Amino acid sequence: MPSAEPGTPMWRHIATTLAHAGCDLVTGVPSDEPALLDAALAVPGLKAVPVRDQRAGACLAAGHALVSGRPAVLATNSGPSLPNALAGLLEAASLHAPVVVVTTRIPRAGLGRGGFQQVDQRAVSAAVAKWYVLAEDVDQLDWALRQAVHRAINGAPGVVVVELAEEALQGEPPRTAAPTARPPRLRSAPAADDLDRAVDTMARAAAPVIIAGGGAKAAGAGAPLRALAESWGAAVFATAAGRGVLDENHPRYCGLAGLYAAAPAAALLDDADVILALGTRLEETVRTGWTLSGQRLIHVDVDPDAFDLAVRPEIALAGDAALTAGLLADRLKAHPSPAWSERVAAVKTELPHAGSLAAETLRAVGSRFGRDLVLVQENGLHDMWSYHYPLLSLSERARVVAPGEQTMMGFGVAASLGAALAEPSLPTVVICGDGAMTMSMNALPAAAEHGAGIVFVVFDNGGFGWPRYVRALAGADTRITRFPGGEPPYEAVIRALGGWTARCRTAGDLDPALEEAAQHAKNGALALVAVPVSDTDIPPGVLRVYGGAAESPDKAGDHDA
């Protein structure tokens, strides 16, 4: 007879230790024998979410951690399990999502002697993990697990790996009770003289700009950022990960920086004289389409490694984004430039509000789901429309999950279940392309089984839109970037899982389709609205940076089934 409580006593102890440390979700593929995922079923405060694929599980864990602000756990085993999760963990590391990987090692007797499924998991995880530990003894378990959570959430948050030796899992749990208090989130502030230097520079600005990143969002910097922007008279931009840190209807908010900025807003970045980068590493996407050559840069980040990666700051402030923004706001005695304020206001009226079918789709999503939602994004050619403000404007209550600098295709689709479980009070909407949807179809069964009620809005360009666009710009052959005709497989999968699908070929189809999708999602079902789009329906930021592309000459007919 199976045990009434899932998992062995040792695994239940491990699950309890992780729950006490602040983790609230464990995901992974079920192992041969009852282990951590099983034990999580019996531990109050833990959600156990089995998935079909470790890659999808890693994305799910990242999505949950980013929305909940708490560390999520991915359970793997020695062998192909951890390597299969690497793509999702790579994106989690890029996003600084606190993900704790708990994996197992084969018995010591098989090490180096052809033991079944032996893998050097330390080497495998080196590219994605900020910290790795091997616990070889039962007395190391509690320390290793709590230290892993501490490191996952502090400094620059990220992926950590705890490898548990088979020998450490045998026998009874540790006799000494593990601490039940969560490891604290440690916050630091810059030195007073560094703050004074920054304030002196800021007070001289005539055209100030703030760029708020994921670090500002994670730190809860909304209120001090708002106060600082208003007192300084700054135009505020966000990175993809920083969206929602400031209400996007705020008069000072101008959209996303870099590739996703429309021309009127991008000009503000070019003409700024002082830029405050708050909780962002100023990755390449943020810097695309404009230069920081003439501006004075003040860079705030909790991680000193973020400074001088690509742009040398005039002043580097090592500290928590919320604390630092508050200290700067308290010290700053500035008089906003009326001319700059008028220009910021004028730019907001010039930003594109609608037009193409892709743009109208985002307008319709905003109209139906409002500004309080969990928005999950991908990073394909047409998906990029969802980054272009003000087509979809978000409140400070909204939660956003978007790929980081790795832009793994299918990340958002797979991460959406974790995001939805983390914030069930808000509707979860995924904006993706047909390529991303196809790549992560194996994440859909778990989403259906958990009654997540996710709405997928799929821009169907008949294949891989971004490679086709880049090839078309170069006059290269695009044939292999196209999918065969017929109904896309993901629509059949959604319906087979009890979900609902529709295809919108005109702007007039959008509102009724999204209304019905919302009703199905409210009842816990998956809903998908596919929108066939043209190769020429290109986001304005992409056009500004790279130029347009006509329909490629080798186009093999209409992709709309």
Q: How many CB atoms lie within 10 A of CB 112?
A: 7
Whether residue 505 has pLDDT greater than 60: yes
Structure tokens at 132: 């790795």
* 309: helix, strand or coil: coil
Q: State the pTM of this model.
A: 0.95
Structure tokens at 14: 């491990």
Q: How many helices (H) and strands (E) does the chain have?
A: 21, 18
Residue ranges, CATH 3.40.50.970, the chain: 9-169, 357-546
Whether residue 4 has pLDDT greater than 80: no
The pLDDT tens digits for 411-426 are 999 999 999 999 999 9
Residue 485 is predicted with a pLDDT of: 84
Question: Which residues does residue 530 pair with via DSSP β-bridges, in sequence order?
Answer: 458, 503
Report residue 348's pLDDT band, with 50, 70 and 90 as the boundaries: confident
Helix, strand and coil content of the chain, in percent to the nearest 5, comes to 40, 15, 40
Give the integer Cα–Cα distance in Å for 253 and 233. 11
For residues 549 and 357, the model is more confident at: 357
Whether residue 481 has pLDDT greater than 90: yes
Mean pLDDT of 468-483: 96
Whether residue 380 has pLDDT greater than 50: yes
CATH number 3.20.20.70 given to 357-546: no
Q: How many CB atoms lie within 10 A of CB 8?
A: 20
* 23: helix, strand or coil: coil
pLDDT above 70 as % of the chain: 96
The pLDDT tens digits for 430-467 are 999 999 999 999 999 999 999 999 999 999 999 999 99
Q: Provide the CATH number for the domain formed by 192-350 in this structure.
A: 3.40.50.1220
The pLDDT tens digits for 172-182 are 898 777 678 99
Whether residue 3 has pLDDT greater than 50: no
Decide the pairing of beta strands 274-278 and 253-256. unpaired
Side chain identity, residue 114: G
The pLDDT tens digits for 238-294 are 999 999 999 999 999 999 999 999 889 999 999 999 999 999 999 999 999 988 888
CB proximity list for 60: less than 8 A, separation 6 or greater:
27, 49, 51, 72, 414, 415, 417, 418, 443, 446
Residue 352 is predicted with a pLDDT of: 74
Please report which residue ranges of 272-356 form alpha helices under DSSP H. 284-287, 321-331, 338-350
Average model confidence (pLDDT) across the chain: 94
Residue ranges, CATH 3.40.50.1220, the chain: 192-350
Q: What CATH number does domain 9-169 carry, 3.30.565.10, 3.40.190.10, 3.40.50.970, 3.40.50.12780? A: 3.40.50.970
The pLDDT tens digits for 106-129 are 999 888 888 888 999 999 999 999
